[in-house]
Amino acid sequence: MTAPLLVEHQADRVVATLNRPDKRNAIDQEMIDALHALCADLEADPRILILTGSESVFAAGADIAQLRERRAEDARKAINAMAFIRINELPMPVIAAVSGYALGGGAELAFAADIRIATPSLKIGNPETGLGIMAAAGATWRLPEIVGHALASELLLTGRVLDADQALAAGIVSNIVPVQDLLTAAHAIADRIAANDPLATQHTKRALRAPRHEHPEIERELQAELFESDEKMRRMTEFLERKSRR
């Protein structure tokens, strides 16, 4: 049986490729299980995560055949939502490298990433209401945080799909790169992150994710821990020594 998620482990990062090409990478229970297993690994051994799909499709949505059979009890389990929350809460940053279609659950998986880049073929949106359901794996609260309430309301209520330029203008993605350069660009972002102090990176992500009412207290406490770290002393000492040599 073909694995629904191809995982490449490196010292400071993991590349996970959605792998259901015959189903346009539709997100089914097996893929969700694989994402949970990946999260367990990255929670125990924090590394940067790059999520990607194929050149033509990131994920065309949740598996409709499975969704059609689910009932109220399944909805209350928030099957996809819980996996995407876990991805978003990973200690180190998550980069979504998206090409082609990212619809429904595929869009919501991309929204769970910290950084999103895409190719010119991007088509991203949430057409769930046209299928008699709603976007319930994060879009109703993550998308307003990303693009603002007015645009999120229009997109979710109409099911309008954005192309790459529209997604860039809306702030859904931070960069558009040629398809042949997508993973290279994702790795370049990961390289810049990996060059920084891992603990400082993790604390920055925690502060970014914290609700407004936790600020500025959360910065004070996280910064206090960093101020006492050996890595802070080492990096600042090296900086001052380089400056003095110049």
Active site members: 108, 128
Sheet strands (E) in 35-179: 48-52, 57-59, 94-98, 101-103, 115-118, 123-125, 162-163, 175-176
CA triple 188-190-191, angle to 5 deg = 65
DSSP label of 91: S
Check: CB of residue 124 under 8 Å from CB of residue 103: yes
d(CA 125, CA 109): 11
Position 38, amino acid: L
d(CA 90, CA 83): 11
d(CA 118, CA 45): 27
d(CA 43, CA 89): 9
**DSSP codes joined into one string, 130-146:** GGT---TTTHHHHHHHH
- Residue positions counted in the chain: 246
Position 103, amino acid: L
